[in-house]
Structure 1
Amino acid sequence: MNSRWAVWILALATALCVYAPGGKAQEASRNEAIYQYKGADREQKLVEAARKEGSLTLYTSLATSESRPLAQAFEEKYGIKVTLWRSTSDKVVQRAVTEARGGRYAVDVVETNGPEMEMLAREKLLAHFESPHIADLPASARPAHGLWVTDRLNFFVVAYNTNLVKKDELPEQYEGFLDPKWQGRIGLEATDVEWMATIIKERGRDKGEAFFRKLAAMRPDVRKGHMLLSEMVGAGEVPVALTVYNSEIESISRRGGPVAWKPVQPVVGRPQGIGVMRNAPSPHAALLFADFVLSHEGQEFFHSVGRIPASESVKTNLKNFPYVMVDPATVLDEHDEWYGLWNELFITR
């Protein structure tokens, strides 16, 4: 079992003890009133109260090279200190759940992968919040329960080494990689179960599963870590990778690496989300930070560092193609089925 799902089981096992009766329920209720305020003086009241709080704590899986400058931009604009803790998405969830189980509410905002945000939502650690910038997001950016919001996107695209492969050699559809000429030239990331599940659902179960069984028979080079796989493409060790994030290829390309990417269909997108904590110790600062990230300014920051902003107010060629989104709820609810198939096809073969 991978670490993401071990964390999910931990969360389920501790659900009953996370919210024992006590004073924290009153704190949560007070915070929710703050999060949902829509008055005309909202921004003024929010900034004034946030400055009195003076600081906020952010847990995120966004790379420190990007999350630190984002936090600094917020600090410079509002004079409010951001205490940043960065780790992998599973550890972000684990820390938040463990602290809540112990009655310690230290974090104000969480920003990480959509499925992990959904875990926190199901554990009732997040609160519904309003922001004027949500209007700039696509309708799919907010789950029906409203407990987190998509702030950026990751797209699984095909990356290739430009010294070894020409763009016009690449197929338009993933099925084109079943051509024998790709034998020994393609790679996959070892944990991309969501990518497979989404394509099978998009293609239909019979057709989709048949494609992946044929792909497995091609014996692609399976490597763990999207950045590692991207760097291997740049080094020429894997000429073509079928599941890398286009933002990471953009980063390597900016550094002069011989890499490029193509949105081979169907492109699968995965939401990255932001949420405010139900028991945040600095709720005004938490909401102000969420506002900042979702604002045009915050979304332009993501774009400037090669990340893909969710907001439709920012124009970018990083998402200028048809795509289908991963459903975080499905990732959790149907995990055993899809993980079992992926493991059979690509891991234990």
Structure 2
Amino acid sequence: MNRKRAFCLAAGIAAVAAATGWSQPTLAQAQAPAAADRHAAIYMYRGADRDKRLLANARKEGKVVVYTSLATKESMPLAKAFEKKYGIKVVLWRSTSDKVVQRAVTEARARRYAVDVVETNGPEVEMMAREKLLSPFHSPHFVDLPPEAFPAHRLWVADRLNFFVVAYNTNKVKRADLPATYEGFLDPKWKGQIALEATDSEWMAAIVKHWGERGTKFFDQLAAARPGVRKGHILLAEMVGAGEVPVALTVYNSEVESLKLRGGPVDWKPVEPVIGRPQGIAVAKNAPNPNAALLFADFVLSPEGQQLLHSMGRVPSSHKVKTELNNFPFTMIDPAVTLDEHDKWQTMWDNYFIKR
């Protein structure tokens, strides 16, 4: 983990611990890591009776605790669908991805094992993998996922994807006028019409890695055009829908789809190179309810769970769900590289677009 992220995470962990007043671990809590070995046997079991045994044991546990950054309007319906199907209560704790990491890491360091499943941004799940909080698991639905959905260590898997696309207000901009590649926005006619999200250094890094010197030249020229900068992908998408920003270059297509479903005058176009960002799901190494944890992960990765995510405007990872939301060429961000090279690209991004 790079120093900047490590420092921020450590500070956040200390703040959470102080605010919540968590006590010192009890002897039983201190012995909890031994449960990891038992959990591994559950998570990796592939016998013919797997599904039947998993459901029976999950119902005995009675609940599953999920930490997620998935918006409430989507995480709640997903939880309710699981509860209706299996009769097992879902306890949701929803916050931003950095807070999900802080809570999970702080609890683990206090030997207070409360979370069963984590579902959040790929780089943040990768942080938890590096903190040794997660366990490999098997799901019969893995066969429906692309190879890019799995990091090499297989401690988590991408259950959905975010794609950086160009969002535009349909009352102000015609789709036919949008260029095919990002370089088209260097045309002077777009000056004062375009905006970026303030934290998208990983998008820039992926384009530069994809285009090489061509990418560096592009960002030199884009910075010189002084595009607007707004913090928050949802906020930026909403500003496009409101007409305050005619065109945004770095909006997640899932956010635009959510606005479209609500009737907003907004749409999106996959402008090359399209950069994808994995959103991951993982089971906790010391989950208090390991069977329910695995069952919930199975459900999210199943065609039923993936279709439900799609119906709410999210981009499913599964090949079983046919959708225009991912039917285009794209390049995936590697969360491990995002963490390792964060400082380098963040400094470049800040010099281009923030410190102006």
Q: TM-score range by the shorter chain?
A: over 0.9
* 1:99-122 alpha-carbon deviations (Å, 9 max, x no partner): 011110000000000000100001
Aligned: 1:178 with 2:186: yes
Q: Work out the CA distance in 2 between the residues paired with 1:278 and 1:254.
A: 38
Which AA in structure 1 matches 2:188?
A: P
CA offset at residue 10 of structure 1? 5.8
Q: What pairs up with 1:105-184 in 2 under 5 angstroms?
A: 105-184=113-192
Q: 1:215 aligns with which of 212, 215, 222?
A: 222
Aligned residue in 2 for 1:253: 260
CA offset at residue 95 of structure 1? 0.2
| Distance 1:89-1:3 versus aligned 2 partners, 3 A rule | farther
Question: TM-score of the superposition, structure 2-length normalised?
Answer: 0.93
Aligned: 1:190 with 2:201: no
Q: Work out the CA distance in 1 between the residues paired with 2:4 and 2:122.
A: 16
* 1:121-141 alpha-carbon deviations (Å, 9 max, x no partner): 011100000000011000110
What is the aligned length?
344
The answer to whether the 8 Å contact 2:13/2:105 transfers is no
Which AA in structure 1 matches 2:323?
A: T
Q: Work out the CA distance in 2 between the residues paired with 1:276 and 1:4.
A: 23
Question: TM-score of the superposition, structure 1-length normalised?
Answer: 0.95
| Distance 1:45-1:219 versus aligned 2 partners, 3 A rule | same
* 1:215-252 alpha-carbon deviations (Å, 9 max, x no partner): 01111110000111111111111110000011111111
Q: Per the alignment, in what secondary structure is the counterpart of residue 319 of structure 1?
A: coil
Q: Per the alignment, in what secondary structure is the counterpart of residue 158 of structure 1?
A: strand
Q: 2:112 aligns with which of 104, 114, 139?
A: 104
Q: Per the alignment, in what secondary structure is the counterpart of residue 318 of structure 1?
A: coil
Aligned residue in 2 for 1:55: 63
Unaligned runs of 5+ in 2: 15-24
Runs (4+) of structure 1 moved beyond 4 Å?
1-13
Q: Per the alignment, in what secondary structure is the counterpart of residue 167 of structure 2?
A: strand
Aligned residue in 2 for 1:85: 93
Q: Work out the CA distance in 1 between the residues paired with 2:89 and 2:56.
A: 14
Aligned residue in 2 for 1:284: 291
The answer to whether the 8 Å contact 1:197/1:338 transfers is yes
Aligned residue in 1 for 2:275: 268
| Aligned residues with identical type, % of pairs | 67
The answer to whether the 8 Å contact 2:168/2:248 transfers is yes
The answer to whether the 8 Å contact 2:309/2:315 transfers is yes
RMSD, aligned CA: 2.1
Q: Per the alignment, in what secondary structure is the counterpart of residue 165 of structure 2?
A: strand
CA offset at residue 12 of structure 1? 11
* 1:2-26 alpha-carbon deviations (Å, 9 max, x no partner): 996644456999xxxx9x9952231
| Distance 1:331-1:245 versus aligned 2 partners, 3 A rule | same
